[in-house]
Chains A and B, each alone.
Chain A
Amino acid sequence: MELFGAIITLLGAIFLLIASIGLVRMPDVYNRLQVGTKATTLGTILSLIGLAIVIPGWSGKLILLIIFVMMTNPVSSHVLARAAYYIKLPYTSRTVVDKLKVSDKVLNVEMEKRYGLESKTLKVK
């Protein structure tokens, strides 16, 4: 049983390794977010499940940890991506389509309305 848990934890660690390789290889911030924050979900979940198999007494707490990771992880990556988009971080030239085209004027009005920011602070570059 201990061996089985160790194997699952190893699988999770491999996923985390792949995520970190992807973090280096990907060309722009959105693709890094895709790989970096979310290949880790399965990695983290598998590591915690493996730990729960090795030490069954901790399983309740580990299940709670999995639930919290699954609840908070998408929120943080969504907010990072959204912030990156609104300060106009450039995306890679391999991007094929962008349906969320926001003109500068609309964007500045939106940002002022929501956050009370000066439009000048948004000019990155």
Chain B
Amino acid sequence: MKNFSITFIVLMVVWILLNNSFRLEILIPGAIVAFVISLFACRLCNVFVDMKLTPKAFAYTFIFLGVFFIDLIKSNLDVARRVLTPSLPINPGIVEVKTTLKSKFARMLLANAITLTPGTLTVEVKDESFFIHCIDVQDDDIEGASKDIVKKFEKYLEVIYG
């Protein structure tokens, strides 16, 4: 049921954004199609099952997005600085980090957030471990690297997905 309603809402939001209007003759066919699609698609997938629908989780989603965008801009500027410096100050390496997240969807979001942040790139995922290519390795043991890279996103995802 949760899966169904979230799929329906996502499809409706996409439809409204595509049409850019709230007129009734656009909303009704969109609602019908979204209802049918989520009715049939939800038997096959269960990606949204782990999502919590409490107000706290909702607020944390926005905080997560904010933290993510600030980090995106900061690290973009950092990578730009590295590229333009004549001596090319890179210190690359692949480090291992551990995550405590259980849900598959949350892990996907975490890996995507890490990859979207320039300077870090998820190369491989094995069980609890993410192997991350960093453009500037600060700390090559598991705990230190986890604290640097994963913790800032993980604490929000943990509240949203449990």
Contact = CB atoms under 8 A, between A and B. Distances in A.
Given A61-B17, A100-B94, A42 B83 contact: no
B90 interface: yes
B54 interface: no
B134 to A, nearest CB: 9
Contacts of B113: 74
Interface string B92-121: 111110000000000000011101111101
A95 B113 CA distance: 23
Contacts of A116: none
Interface stretch (B27-35, B56-64, B72-80, B151-159): B72-80
A98 B140 CA distance: 9
Interface residues of B, number: 39
Chain A: interface secondary structure?
A: helix
A82 interface: yes
Given A73-B115, A99-B140, 20 more contacts: A18-B84, A31-B135, A34-B119, A38-B117, A38-B118, A39-B79, A42-B76, A42-B118, A57-B20, A59-B20, A60-B20, A64-B18, A85-B124, A94-B91, A94-B92, A95-B93, A96-B91, A96-B137, A98-B94, A99-B94
